[in-house]
Amino acid sequence: MSVFATAIAGEFPESAESFFSVAASFLKELDQFFVDQQDEFELELRELVEYALSHSGKRLRPISLYLTGMDEDGKSNPGMVRAAAVVEMVHLATLVHDDILDEAELRHKQETVSRKYGIPAAVLLGDALFAQALQLASGFETTEVCRLVSEATRKVCAGEIEQTLEGGSGDDEVRRYFRIIERKTAILFEVSCRLGGLLGRPGPEMAVTAGDFGRHLGLAYQIYDDLVDVIGSESVIGKTLGTDFASGKRTLPFLLLFQSMEETEREGIYGRFAQSGALPDGIDLGKLIDDHGVVEKVGVYFSEEIQKAKAAATLLNGGEAGGGLYEMAAFVERRFWGLVRPEEG
């Protein structure tokens, strides 16, 4: 029996803590790596770097890299730890910049970097994290690591830029949404799993399949996160909610809402939303979402991506359902349906 199967005793764990405990040793090594890395930054940056690293959240990307690359005994290697640090630094840099664009005040129940230290310092911290990630990536003997990380970093930036530009409408805009989140979110999950395959047990021949798992998991996770912004509880989630709507981001829940409206209703509300990111006075967003069955429609898109992730995980597990990556997809799936149907949780 694998170390993962032993840890969960054949059942999906009820709590996030028991799920993450599977990768506890790897994450401990990663934490120590980050502690050692802080001395690589200039003195003026160290406090900000430490603050950002201490609020990095669930670390799903490093965990996905570990679960992809670990051997039969659950062991990793130093290259996997280093690669996980590279991806996590890029991810943290995007979060720091995201919070500036969204004018968010909270992340993981703490002040955002931009709120605590100011926007100029936050912008430069994000840049420094990007730079350090690429420096770490350049230290591998194979140039493939640096190539994958550099390409992913560029795509993340492209996704951010496209999100700020004026989009189209209707079905075309839904396709545009998926293009954006594939660049902004899914690419880092994809690279994490490809690096796990490249540096760990599956080997380079399975790296593309591992990347497919990561991409679909990342898409599903972003769909979940966008729904959280609409119907989640700020006190439970621990970050500022409603920022997507307030900043005019056309995430999937809003696109599906506008699609389902009658033309006259849509023109009035969508026009106001497109201009200011706000609904007209007297409009109840929650009621609109319920009346138009938006959550159920979002669930269809989510289910499609999570099933593709499970299928790729099955391939990586020798054609059998189960294993660490499959259970990770199941974890994200449980989070989504727990948000949608809390009474069943």
CATH code at 3-344: 1.10.600.10
Nearest to 332 by CA among 26, 19, 38: 19
Residues 6+ apart with CB under 8 A from 250: 167, 173, 177
Record the pTM. Answer: 0.86
CA distance 305 to 217: 7
Tell me the two tokens of residue 119: 């926007």
Longest CA–CA span in the chain (Å) reads 61
With beta carbons less than 8 A apart as the criterion, state whether 82 and 30 touch.
Answer: no
- pLDDT tens-digit map of 256-290: 988 898 888 877 776 666 666 566 676 777 788 88
Domains of the chain: which residue ranges? 3-344
Given a cut of 90, whether residue 343 has pLDDT beyond it is no
pLDDT tens for residues 165-177? Answer: 876 656 688 999 9
pLDDT on residue 233: 57
Poorest-confidence range of 16-25, 156-165, 332-341?
16-25
Q: Is the pLDDT of residue 11 over 80?
A: no
* Cα–Cα–Cα angle for 74, 108, 295, rounded to 5 degrees: 90
Task: Please name the residue that has the structure tokens 């706000």.
Answer: 278
Residues with Cβ < 8 Å from 23, sequence gap 6 or more? 62, 63, 66, 67
d(CA 251, CA 161): 15
**Alpha helices (H) in the chain, listed in sequence order:** 3-8, 16-20, 24-38, 43-53, 60-69, 78-102, 113-117, 119-137, 143-164, 171-181, 187-199, 207-231, 234-237, 243-246, 252-260, 263-276, 285-291, 294-316, 323-340
